[in-house]
Amino acid sequence: MLTLPEPSVTPLRGGPTLRWGVLGPGGIAQDWVSTVHRHTDQRVVAVASRSSDRSQAFAVRHGIPHAFEGHEALLASPDVDVVYVAAPHAQHRPLALAAIAAGKHVLIEKPMALDAQEAEEISQAAKAAGVFAMEAMWTRYLPQSDLVSRLLADGAVGEVRTVTADLGWRWEYSAGDPRFDPTIGGGVMIDAGVYPLWFAHSVLGPIDSVHAIGSVAPTTAEIEAVIALRSASGALASLSASATTTTPGLASVYGTTGSILFDSSFVFPARLRILSDGGEHEWADESGLAGRDGLAWQATALAAYVAEGRTQSPLHSLDDSIAVLRVLDDVRRQIRRHAE
C-alpha cells in the first residue's frame, strides 16, 4: 500500500527574514508583494520604477516605506538585502547584473533572461560576486512540487516514461502589444511555455532531443507550440503552450507501475491523483493559498537559503534555469524557421 509522503517546504512564517526591494512595480509585482505581506514574515522596504509617481503609488498601496525613481538609489540603499526583479523580460539581465554588482541577493522573475546566453551571464556574475541568485520559478516551491519529487524519488510510479503538460492563456492580438514583440521577449514560449518546459525538466532531467511546431503572429512572435522532448534517459515529454486559447493547465507523469495526474492547473496550488500498484490516492494543497497567492512560497525559501549560506537554490539551480532556457531557445528557433 502506497503511503503519501508529507511535502517538505520552508514554512511561510517563523523563519529567517530579509528586507526586500522591488524593481518594476507591474502586475506580477503587485501580486507578489500582496501575498508576501499577507502570508509571510518577509517585508518589502523599497520599490523603484522609472516613474517616480508609479513607484510612489505602489509604495502607498502596499505600505512600503521607500519609493525611488530609477533603480540606482534602491540598489545603493543599505536597508535592502535582496532585490526582486519584476520588470519586463528585456530588463531582467541589466537589472539583475546591476543588483549583483551592488552586492544584493536577487530573485529574478521567470524566465531569468531572454535566452540561455543572458542567463549564463547572470549566473557567472552572481557566482563571482558570491551573492545569492535565483529564478522565480515559483511553482517549484509549492508543496505539490515537493510531493511529486518525493514520489518519484521513492519509485512510487516505477520508471518514468512519459510526461505531459499544457498551458495556455488567450491573448487578443495587437501589433503594439509587447507580448507580441519578439525583440523584447514577446511570444508565448517565454511567457507561458516556460512552465511546461520546466515541469518536464524537473521530472526528466537533461533533455537531448527537441522537436517543435507552432504558429506565429504577424510580428513573428510564436503564439502556439506543440513540443516533443526526449530526455537523456530515453523518456519522452509531450508539451503545449498557447496564446490563442485558454487551456486547463494540466500535467501528468506516467511510469511503468503508476502515474501522477494533476486535476487542476499544475502552475498554481493544485490537486493531484496518484495511481499505483497500491491503489488510487488523492492529494490537495491545504495551505489555504490559491492562484498567485502561491508566489509567497519562493520568498520564504530564498530567505532560508540565504540564512544557510547558499548562493543558489538547491531545488531549481542556476544551471537548471539555463538548461530550460536552452530548450526554450531551440523551440523558438524551430517554430520561427518553419513559419518562414
Catalytic residues: 110
CA distance 325 to 264: 25
Q: 171: closest CA among 214, 117, 224?
A: 224
Grid-cell match 521567470, residue found: 110
| Grid coordinates of 200 | 518536464
- All 3 cell numbers of residue 36? 508576501
Cα–Cα distance, 255 to 229 (Å, whole number)? 16
CB hemisphere CA count around 261 (13 angstroms): 10
Question: Exposure pattern of 120-152 as b/e (b: 16+ CB <10 Å)?
Answer: bebbebbeebebbbbbbbbbbbbbbbbbbbebb
Residues 6+ away with beta carbon under 8 Å from 117: none
> Are the CB atoms for 95 and 23 separated by under 8 Å?
yes
CA angle in degrees (0–180, nearest 5) for 96-19-310: 65
Grid cell locating 3? 503511503
CB 133 within 8 A of CB 118: no
CA distance 154 to 131: 33
Residue 68 forms beta bridges with which residues? 48
Residues 6 or more apart whose CB falls under 8 angstroms from that of 310 comprise 132
Q: Edge-to-edge, what's the strand order for the sheet holding 160-168? A: 207-216, 222-231, 236-242, 160-168, 251-255, 258-262, 271-276, 279-284
